[in-house]
Structure 1
Amino acid sequence: MSFRKQARWLVLLSAAVAQAAPEKKDDAAEVTLEKFVVSGAAAGQFTAGGGSSKATLTPVEMLMIPGSAADVNRALQTLPGVQAADEGNALFVRGGDSRETGMWINGIRYPGTTSVNAPMGTFTGSISPWLGAKTEFAAGGFGAGTGDVLSGAVKIETLGVPEAREASVNLAAGTVAGAVSWPWGTRAGMTVTATRLDLEPYFELFKPSRSFAEAPEGNTFSVAGGWKYRPEGEVRWFGLHETATVALPVKDVFQSGEYRSEGETRFGVVSWREKRGAWTHDVSIGGGADEKREDWMTSSWTTEQERSEIVARSAWDAGYGVWRGGAEVAGERLDYAWEFLAPGGAGAAERLVYRGRSRETLTAGWVELETSVARNVNATAGVRAWDSRRAGEAGFDPRLALIWQMSRRASWSVSGGRYHQVAEGFYYRDGTEPARAMQADQVIVSYDWKRGQRSVRVEAYAKRYRRIVGFDRKYSVVGDGVGEARGVDFMIKQPLPWEASGRLTWSTVWAERTDPATGVEAPAPWAVRNSVVLIVERDFGNWKCSLAGRWANGRAFTPITGAVSNGGGGSEPVFGAVNSENYPSFRRIDCTLARTWEVSKRVTAVTYLAGFNLAGWDNVQAYEYSDDFRERREVPTLFSRGLFFGVNLIFR
């Protein structure tokens, strides 16, 4: 949950600041936001990670982004193409739902399911930036090697062999954490981290904007390591176990009371990569499980997902171009048991029960060629073949990307293709006709310019959706929805006066989709028309300082415009036009301050301070209605004004 992510962010920020401290002379360790550039990437590709030729946005930079809260998704929310639909960590990309964006860790799909309810914002699976050595984000336009997503893809490579032996202990309000790195010689090693969170002490100091029946608490344990058996051959492994619990009062149309959410995520992957001559091979085997239970008065939603996968890829540099290809097989089991109140006849609440189990075997194979087709023009053409047991169909997805390097500083690119995604298992119920795989056709045009530390990137895109699957107000499955989205994304990076640097992103989108409850095409509820993020960073001596401002139009929602008697002494809501109103605009200012102190040659201390929602703006998460539906009141988001602070000790 969001407060838990904020506190965990501070645990990892201290280690990040220590690694990037000014005292160090290694340029690779002194990466700051000033080095953020995006250049020469295909349309839709925003690559983040050290060592990438397309961009450099290291874990240190992600952690220093104010409000990132130790979460890869939150850091990526500051990039163009991602709409700020609410204060959750889910990625709503270019008019698409968050379930249409996937995350892969070392080539294996991360099994983070989205909560059925979202009284605190839309949350989905994610990890800490500090556990990744390289993160790539594609807001569409991805090649044939990426499938089963419609809108966005996040790909993370985890840490391998640690550079040095060290241990750290972190103490902060509501948080205790530790980390140990063990190099085994120069070719192997591992890093283990553990975090315990209980925000009850923090809430005694800073009252949240909404009351909690039970303060957020949780545990996180991870292990990452590698064995570099030859200069161009390596085995890596990564494992994660995380639990989280939170409870707070929530009011709905038919009931009000305590909402409680419990979640547990387990994930593991082993990967092998080797380069021999013109050939590169990599194989990943892994999977995980994600369990969520949401209880609300007499209603409950339990979802359990298990997924295992094997992926094999190869690349061959043929001289005239690079051939890439691969195959993958994924198996998934999803169990769900939902009992809840929904609109019934004559305005009465009706209790519905959905239970089921869904099985999926998804196989895919792909091939693509990247080559020069003219002077300063590169093309990547490919095709992906797939077969889904759950959807009961197979298909082919063609992909194409062109990049024209018109000068040393500027380039144009265009990419597009067809994409398919099989909906989650709870959309496939016994006795219902299997829904076909959802489909999107997309084209993106991009212009990219850079000069030194200055860069500008502009992208325009258009998408058309078919066969979209969704739920109506009774959680009945509704298929064959259609939609479209188009918009423009803009990003500029510019040095500023007084030795500061800044990054401005602006995304605008127009999107419509079939509303499952009414069957009419209406504005997509998560397609925020304008989203703006400004990040400014400056060092004051040994202090690293970052300031971030966020603004976005309010997302659309369907209002309750009146009420009628249900004949039993109560009232039945009357809904207005679908998504015809918008919540108030979203505004927030966050900051980060951190300093490294060299206590001795072997001990480093890091003090840090993070401010959230410094202006104290009351952003609106939702509306609650009176029993007769004549009055409504604003439900604030979780991020009231707050300060997180602490100290981290690092022993080398």
Structure 2
Amino acid sequence: MLHAQQPSSPTATTVTGRVHTADGRGLAGAVVAILETLEETHTGSDGHFVLTSTHRGVATLVARAVGFVPSTIDMVVPSDSMFVFRLVPRPPTLTQFVVVAAGEYTIGSGQTASLKPLEVAQTPGAAANIARAIQTLPGAQNVDEGTGLFVRGGDVTETRVLVDDAWMLSPVRFDNPTGHTTVTVNPFLLDRTVFSSGGFGVPHGNALSGLVRMESAAAPARQTASLSASIGGVSAAYGTRLHPRVGMRASAGLNSLAALTATFGEAQPYEPPPRSGDVSGSLEWQSGAAGRVRLFAVRQGGVFGVGQAGVGSTSHYGARSADGLAVLSWRDSSTTWRPAVTVAYASFDRNETFGTFQLRTRLSAPQLLASLGYVTTDGTRWRVGAEREALSAAYAGHMRTTTGEWSPVFTERTPSTRIGAFVEGSRRFASGFHATLGLRTDQSSLTGRRTYDPRVSLAWQRGALALTSAWGVYHQVAEPTYRRALPASAFSPMRVHQFIGGVQWGADTLGLRIEYFDKRYADLWQFADRQEPVGNGTGRANGVDIMWRWRLAQATSTRVTYSHVRSRRTDPHSGLMARSLADITHSVTWIGEHVHRSLTMGTSVRYATGKPFTDIVGARPDEGLAAPVYDDPFAARMPAYLRSDVSLSWYRALGERRGLVLWGSLSNVLGRENVMRYRWSEDYSVRFPVHAPFNRSIFIGTTLLL
């Protein structure tokens, strides 16, 4: 990555010119940038540009646009010359093929396993939410319409979310009536997001199934600002350079679905409709040519309530939550020694009310991570590291009395510390073979045990064909609420052995990827009746993920993903092997995108086998009331899930730096009433479907780029 160098003079100058096509027509919306500083601008409707820069001396000016071959001009800043670029169309041939590690997927070009902010925002149906965009990738099962990530037959709690390598707390305690949730951040606060559905290396621990690695946005090259407004909320963002080596960003937003539900109706009675807010900021100092120190902080909060939330007909669920994360990180890759240090503090506070029961969950986690990389003369890359994570968990339960007061039922406080270390080496050979081997060890005060996780990743490439595989042992300490009064010797860490084997072929314009996975679980912790923890569970999940990409033309692309999974694990009530909640046998997603001048159009169709559930087959008397009689665990299935979404966005340049974006989406185009769960009559003789929260609806908004 290139960073701005400190100039000899802070005085700004301008670079002017024009970008045109082979027939002389001005090319609107092309990006013109100085590579040495990353300062950039866009061309106007006639192809002209004005670029402001504080750089002095030799520079490389580059112009690029979608569908055209980039062009560069060597120059000296300042200059009175007018620079003219002639861009020619990119030929429809396969681009360079880059092998993607086993288990990692992409929404973008296919050459990296990352989600860029614009790709998240333009994914139809994602509503600019990173977790929803990830759900369109192979390996993530569509269990419900929440944002929870069920990865390759694993539970939602088995996926870890990181920001600049720091853990972002996102616990899931109950099956939220509107779907499981995973905490993420605004995608425009990030440079990229990498999703791994398994096979990730030893630098990352305490996760059984999946990993979401988000990297906060770098300091802006120039002053930027934006204002956004929609039927669902408002937001503002600002970024600037305080010094040639220092930059900052700040943003804030408020969201409410009240107007949306009032206009288009709701499938569930929201009491109140969801509303949330967030504020964030970052400050970065470029410590060297390839080094930086960055402080990133975000605070988010939300509240909502929904009726008919339980098995019965009259239950109400309400939740109010707040979470925050502050991360101070240092990275330097200017020499063969490459240090990285992260200091962070994460917090989470949620108050849930379910009928007459109230649960308060408060978590906090100071974290320290440090690693050192080294590149040898033969190209071997080594990295060693260590981390310390102190998790403090407090739970308080209350019951509402007949007088309306809340009476305490229990209070639990569980402090814990986890210390981990790893060593990893990787080498790329001339034959096209690439190998990564590593060993990780962890010890938690909750379990009192030390674990060892060896992991191996292999890849072989010949032209546009590549074979990949990964094998490893993964441990995770169950959440402190499972520990209760158990001694450490009885609270064993959960474990899974993973194997992934796959084949990749193609590149940007056309590509196919197939992966087989097999996961074998041991020492699982789950909840039985009355939230009693049950351990020593076992399980297995295996299946196939397929992703096919095709760029039909320079402006039109499509991709289809398919996942087949078979997931079984011990039922905590009976001790028998049964389907897991993530046993979504078949999942198919189709996404298409077309760009016509300033208009971008996208559409998506998602299908999934109905999720398993435990049916109620009768009732029995219990102290004068009816108590449910359950069928075999997870023996029944919901109806199949089907949803289609359409999105549109239009951009218009307003001068050299300003622009206007109009965007909108039509959600649930087919008006499908997807069943998320069931509720029953008071005597359990009649079953009623509870549909997905939203009806067919239109979401529109605008963003002004300043």
* Same fold? TM cut 0.5: yes
Instruction: State the distance in 1 between where 2:312 and 2:441 align.
Output: 46
**RMSD between aligned alpha carbons?**
2.6
Conserved 8 A contact 2:95-2:507? no
Q: Which ranges in structure 1 are unaligned for 5 or more consecutive residues?
A: 1-17, 342-350
Residue correspondence of structure 1 range 320-399 to structure 2 within 5 A: 320=378, 321-339=380-398, 353-372=409-428, 375-399=431-455
Conserved 8 A contact 2:594-2:601? yes
SS of the aligned residue for 1:54 comes to coil
Residue correspondence of structure 1 range 181-580 to structure 2 within 5 A: 181-253=239-311, 256-320=314-378, 321-339=380-398, 353-372=409-428, 375-405=431-461, 407-431=462-486, 434-496=490-552, 499-566=555-622, 568=624, 570-580=625-635
Question: What amino acid is aligned across from residue 274 of structure 1 in structure 2?
Answer: D
Instruction: State the distance in 2 between where 1:451 and 1:38 align.
Output: 5
Question: What amino acid is aligned across from residue 160 of structure 2 in structure 1?
Answer: G
1:93 aligns with 2:148: no
Match of 2:84 in 1: none
Instruction: State the distance in 2 between where 1:254 and 1:354 align.
Output: 25
Conserved 8 A contact 1:37-1:55? no
Identity %: 29
**Equivalent residue in structure 2 for 1:593, among 648, 657, 663:** 648
Distance 1:522 1:640, change over 3 A: same
Q: Which ranges in structure 2 are unaligned for 5 or more consecutive residues?
A: 1-39, 50-61, 69-91, 401-406
Match of 1:632 in 2: 687
Distance 1:446 1:337, change over 3 A: same
**Equivalent residue in structure 1 for 2:663, among 566, 587, 608:** 608
Conserved 8 A contact 2:388-2:420? yes
Match of 1:582 in 2: 637
Conserved 8 A contact 2:42-2:657? no
Deviations 1:312-371 (A, max 9, x none): 111111133111111111111010123479xxxxxxxxx994431111111011001112
Deviations 1:69-128 (A, max 9, x none): 222111111111110011111110011001000011101111122242411100121112
SS of the aligned residue for 1:214 comes to coil
Structure 1 residue 231: Cα displacement: 1.3
Distance 1:376 1:649, change over 3 A: closer
Instruction: State the distance in 1 between where 2:95 and 2:158 align.
Output: 27
**TM-score, normalised relative to structure 1:** 0.90
1:131 aligns with 2:189: yes
Higher RCO (Cα < 8 Å, 6 or more apart) = 1
Distance 1:256 1:504, change over 3 A: same
Instruction: State the distance in 1 between where 2:237 and 2:309 align.
Output: 41
Structure 1 residue 576: Cα displacement: 0.4
Distance 1:326 1:22, change over 3 A: farther
Question: What amino acid is aligned across from residue 415 of structure 2 in structure 1?
Answer: R
Match of 2:10 in 1: none
1:78 aligns with 2:136: yes
Structure 1 residue 372: Cα displacement: 4.2
Match of 2:167 in 1: 109
Deviations 1:523-578 (A, max 9, x none): 1112211111111000133111111111100110000011123351x322110011
Instruction: State the distance in 1 between where 2:425 and 2:486 align.
Output: 43
Could you say which structure has the larger radius of gyration?
Answer: 2
Higher mean Cα deviation, 600-609 or 119-128? Answer: 600-609
Instruction: State the distance in 1 between where 2:686 and 2:596 align.
Output: 50
Distance 1:608 1:486, change over 3 A: same
SS of the aligned residue for 2:274 comes to strand
Question: What amino acid is aligned across from residue 45 of structure 1 in structure 2?
Answer: E
SS of the aligned residue for 2:153 comes to coil
Distance 1:544 1:452, change over 3 A: closer
Distance 1:598 1:49, change over 3 A: closer
Structure 1 residue 198: Cα displacement: 2.8
Match of 2:702 in 1: 647
Structure 1 residue 599: Cα displacement: 3.3
Structure 1 residue 477: Cα displacement: 0.6
Structure 1 residue 394: Cα displacement: 0.6
**TM-score, normalised relative to structure 2:** 0.84
Instruction: State the distance in 1 between where 2:543 and 2:98 align.
Output: 21
Conserved 8 A contact 2:122-2:128? no
Conserved 8 A contact 1:484-1:513? yes
Match of 1:4 in 2: none
Question: What amino acid is aligned across from residue 398 of structure 1 in structure 2?
Answer: P
Conserved 8 A contact 2:177-2:309? no
Instruction: State the distance in 1 between where 2:553 and 2:158 align.
Output: 40
Conserved 8 A contact 1:200-1:215? yes
Higher mean Cα deviation, 23-32 or 357-366? Answer: 23-32
Structure 1 residue 254: Cα displacement: 5.7
Higher mean Cα deviation, 240-249 or 445-454? Answer: 445-454
Higher mean Cα deviation, 92-101 or 217-226? Answer: 217-226
Question: What amino acid is aligned across from residue 481 of structure 2 in structure 1?
Answer: F
Structure 1 residue 456: Cα displacement: 0.8
Higher mean Cα deviation, 580-589 or 185-194? Answer: 185-194
Conserved 8 A contact 1:144-1:383? yes
